[in-house]
Structure 1
Amino acid sequence: MDETALSHLYLDYAASAPLRSEALEAEADYDRSPFAGANPNSLHTLGRRAARALDGARRDITSALGGGFRPQDLAFTSGGTESNNLALHGMAEGARGRDRRRRRIVISAIEHDSEIDVAPSLRDEGFTVTLVRPGTDGRVSPDALDAVLADDVALVSIMSANNETGIVQPLAELAAASHEAGALMHTDAAQAFGKIPLALEDVDGVSLSAHKIGGPVGVGALVLRSRCPFRPREFGGGQEGGRRPGTQDVRGALAFAAVTRFCSDGLEARRLEVEGRAQALYDRLCAPKTGILPTTTAQLDEGRLPGIVSVMTRRLDSPTLVLRLDQAGFEVSAGSACSSASLDASHVLLAMGIPREAALGSLRISFDERVGTDELDRFAQELLRIVSSAR
């Protein structure tokens, strides 16, 4: 490994969290097992053993997910992006197939790019896409959603917690409003799963991603209730209940399940620990006269993910801040890693009503309990120095 990388402090967990030891151990156990490499769809002994292991992973993940979901509701995917794509297309087509009047899809203006960028293809398929905007606190209110709902809406999709600001959405109320209008409800829970308790009892579909909680990259899940209408977009083999065909990655699924079990155990204690470190970082960075402001006035204990600190400054633009911090040994991002090449302001912050010139200087610092207070203090000192020197 590059010695320079060893000296860097990685603070971009919301993009991809470092692999946890539980994932590595699960992968090693699989590699040593007799059924390593066996196709879980085969009828022979090793194939059946692989299938049982895969089913065990489904049980562990859906048990942690809660909301009344069952193991057979879970289809493994390649990650959150594929899960979101499958959900928007498959659930919307399923709803329209049941009721031809339902040709509109409602998503929030702060969704991940894997939903925002699906809009053109949905329009090509005859759907209208409506964006519902959040308030200045970053939350989509039930009233705002209700204002755009009607009997032509097939699907509503609003993320559980935002990947840039960490704002947690009022999911139960949003789902209730969606169902009152006769629409299906999907949520992208990639950032929230394994970090906070989720209220999913009234949600029809959920997207998950393993690498956001320390699992391997390339593994995710789409969880759909059995009653949820769904039209698949890929064919061949019939795996995952026909929702996502192709030979499954048993090794990745077992690693995903292992980190899920770890994150579920002691979730509340871990949440409070990380929340305390995040609040201390906010307090230091956003103290009077530092030139740094939070992107939202919502407090951590009012519904924010514990490990995302979202700030902004007018003194430097985001790419300059990221590169200067990188040179000093700190790895952060300006927002979603999937749009990191863009030089424009974050669509999330603009949707919240933040002026473009302020949003152009945003930073996202993200971590979990593996990053200590002393390390965050060192980072804060360096960021404050960089911003102060730009006066």
Structure 2
Amino acid sequence: MFDNSFVNLDYAASTPMRVEAVRAQAAYDASDIAGANPNSLHTLGRKAAAQLETCRRSIARSFGPRVRSSEVIFTGGGTEANVLALFGLAEAVREQDRNRTRVILSAIEHDSMLDNLSLLHAAGFTTELIKPCRAGYVEPAALEACMGDDVALVSVMLANNETGVIQPVRELAAVAHARGALYHADAVQGWLHTPFDVQELNIDALSVAGHKIGGPVGIGALYLKNRTPLRARSFGGGQERNLRPGTQDLRAIVALAAAADALHPHIEEDSKRLLGLSSLLYERICTHPHIHATMGDWVTVDRLPGIVSIFVDNMDSEELILQLDGRGFEVSAASACSSGSLDASHVLRAMGISREEALGSLRISFDDRVDPIDLDRFADALLEVVR
């Protein structure tokens, strides 16, 4: 049982499983294919394989109406999808052209990308990080200034997980492709929270994760455009087109597809409603002279619905989180607490926010299941704490 005295406003970290996903898992558990290996030749194996492909088609539809199910690779989560794309695409391009040894990423990427830069260097690649503008997005002109015929891969996320700022992916991908590089987008935070079509974006690969949309933890997927080269990172078994070996977790995949099917038909209306709620929250709390939106003018910036990113003058994130927790509201900082010391968010620092300001950051996040009354109560609590 959940303690109803707490209001979870940390959905950007992870979300509770949706009713549809829980029911899908229960139906799977009660079916004759529960535990059956979808790679087996017997009847139950073939039935499990058919269910797997049904789920693959569901995920493909969520990426765009013309996406093929064969362009979906199931992974063990968003981090694995990101690492597979980062190394698999860069190495595949280098195998085709030995001069392409450079990888360009934004300075606001998730740690699952940035923490692998040293391994890219060890593999013979050089890397370059592009800083965003003060509003939190990477400008196409900044990418163009860095491009060259030695670039194998450009990876800039669809939307930032801390600030919620949506990146100009279509324009960035066009810049990368003009110089012969591939383009990957980490869409773990943006998938099924903001509408997009991978074919309209004209990107080569895209990563997603189940637990950010109300699916299970430990399941994700990689969209890989047809005929895009990718070198496998591990081997053994041949599953997922020989690109991601290991018996598929059909139970988790069934729940993932159920969550996607529940969200996808309503994404336009849900996005509009949640953007409205986010804007109301920004408007209310940022009237206080010591509370500021991290991207500056939040009204003009293209943002994910359901993420409100702020910093508070002369207060640190840890104190804010604990004070709000004591009032029943669960939020997070756009920074990491490690060994008792608070480190400023690399995202906010890359945006030009001072270390002192970044240490007072908060991220408030929610999805379509939020009660607007709870957001009003949260605003009251935050203003009380700041006062």
Which category describes the TM-score, using the shorter chain as reference length?
over 0.9
AA matched with 2:96: R
My pick for the range that moved more, 253-262 or 195-204, is 195-204
Give how far 1:318 is off. Answer: 0.7
1:269 match: 269
In the other structure, the counterpart of 1:215 is 215
Percent identity, please.
Answer: 52
Cα distance, 1:69 vs. partner?
2.8
Shift of 1:288: 4.1
Please identify runs of 4+ aligned residues in structure 1 that moved more than 4 A.
none
Gap change, CA 1:193 and 1:73, over 3 Å in 2? same
Matched with 2:147 is: 149
Q: Indicate conservation of the 8 Å contact 1:67/1:200, yes or no.
A: no
Q: How does 1:289-328 map to 2 (within 5 A)?
A: 289=289, 291-299=290-298, 302-328=301-327
Q: Tell me what 1:247 maps to.
A: 247
Distance in 1 between residues matched to 2:312 and 2:381, nearest whole Å: 15
Write the letter of the residue equivalent to 1:45: T
SS in 2 for 1:186: strand
How far apart, in 2, do the equivalents of 1:137 and 1:176 lie? 21
Per-residue CA deviations over 1:275-321 (Å, capped at 9, x if unaligned) read 111111111110043x1110013535641001000000122111111
| Per-residue deviation, 1:7 | 1.2
1:8 & 1:154 partners in 2: Cα distance? 47
Shift of 1:371: 1.2
| AA in 2 matched with 1:210 | G
Which sections of structure 2, spanning at least 5 residues, go unmatched? Answer: none
How many residues are aligned here?
Answer: 383
Q: Which amino acid aligns with 2:381?
A: E
1:141–1:170 Cα contact (<8 Å) kept: yes
For 1:195 and 1:340, locate their aligned partners in 2 and report how far apart those are by CA, in whole Å: 27
Structure 1: 5+ residue stretches without partners? none
The one-letter code matched in structure 1 to 2:112 is S
Letter in 2 for 1:352: M
The equivalent of 1:30 in structure 2 is 28
Deviation at 1:260, TM superposition (A): 0.6
Write the deviation string for residues 187-210 of structure 1: whole angstroms up to 9, x where unpaired. 001111101111422100010001
- Given that residues 172 and 200 in structure 1 are in contact (C-alpha distance below 8 angstroms), is that contact kept between their aligned partners in structure 2? no
- Counterpart of 1:232 in structure 2 is 232
TM-score normalized with structure 2 length: 0.96
TM-score (norm 1): 0.95
State the Cα deviation string for residues 61-84 of structure 1 (Å, max 9, x = none).
111111743111111111111110
Counterpart of 2:265, as a letter, is D
* Deviation sequence 1:218-260 (CA, Å, 0-9, x none): 1000111231111111100000001110000001111111111
Q: How does 1:125-164 map to 2 (within 5 A)?
A: 125-164=123-162
- Following TM superposition, by how much is the alpha carbon of 1:335 offset from its aligned partner in structure 2, in angstroms? 2.3
CA contact (8 A) 2:295 2:301 kept: no
* Aligned partner of residue 241 in structure 2, secondary structure: helix
Q: Which residue of 2 aligns with 1:58?
A: 56
Q: Is the 8 A contact 1:298 1:304 kept in 2?
A: no
Counterpart CA distance in 1 for 2:249 and 2:25 is 11
Cross-structure match for 2:18: 20
Q: 2:90 aligns with which of 89, 92, 95?
A: 92
Residue of structure 2 equivalent to 1:284: 284
Letter in 2 for 1:359: A
Question: 2:133, 2:73 → 1: CA distance?
Answer: 34
Residues 83 and 207 in structure 1, CA contact (< 8 A), matched pair in contact too: yes
- Counterpart of 1:70 in structure 2 is 68
Deviation at 1:105, TM superposition (A): 0.3
Q: In the alignment, what sits opposite 1:6?
A: 4
Give me the whole-angstrom Cα distance separating, in 2, the residues matched to 1:20 and 1:92.
36
Mark the CA change 1:146 to 1:307 in structure 2 (over 3 Å): closer, same or farther: same
1:215 alignment partner AA = G
Residue 374 (structure 2) pairs with residue 375 (structure 1): yes
Report the counterpart of residue 176 of structure 1 in structure 2: 174
Q: Which amino acid aligns with 1:268?
A: E
